[in-house]
Amino acid sequence: MNDQFKYFDQFVHALVDMNLPLAEEKTICDIFRKAVECDYTHIRLVDGAVCGIQRMIYTYAVCIDIDKFGCYEHRYCYETLEAALAVYDTWTGETELTGYTRKI
């Protein structure tokens, strides 16, 4: 299975598990669409926030709490995609990410 489909499947399951009112589900889906338009990859819901990875010039950024404009609340930069995914894939949102080279 393609990685992007794996993350999309996780996203949908997490959204359904949250049991939100339809209007809130629509808002989260709109944010997901905007994240895709802004070239975020590996998009998933973490503790109710839309998160994803974005390629920067020199690093890969794990972006936390992406909004309807494609902006993020926090960004953690990693030298490689593999380093970012190693932390991101197991992160539950309960603690701060680790191993980053820069936090914004």
Q: How crowded is residue 23: how many other Cβ atoms within 10 Å of its Cβ?
A: 7
Q: What is the pTM of this model?
A: 0.84
Tokens at 37, concatenated: 């338009």
CA neighbor of 46 nearest in space, from 73, 26, 22, 69: 73
Model pLDDT, residue 1: 44
CA distances from 90 to 30, 70, 81, 95 (A): 25, 23, 14, 11
The arithmetic mean of pLDDT across residues 55-80, rounded, is 96
44: its two tokens = 């998933």
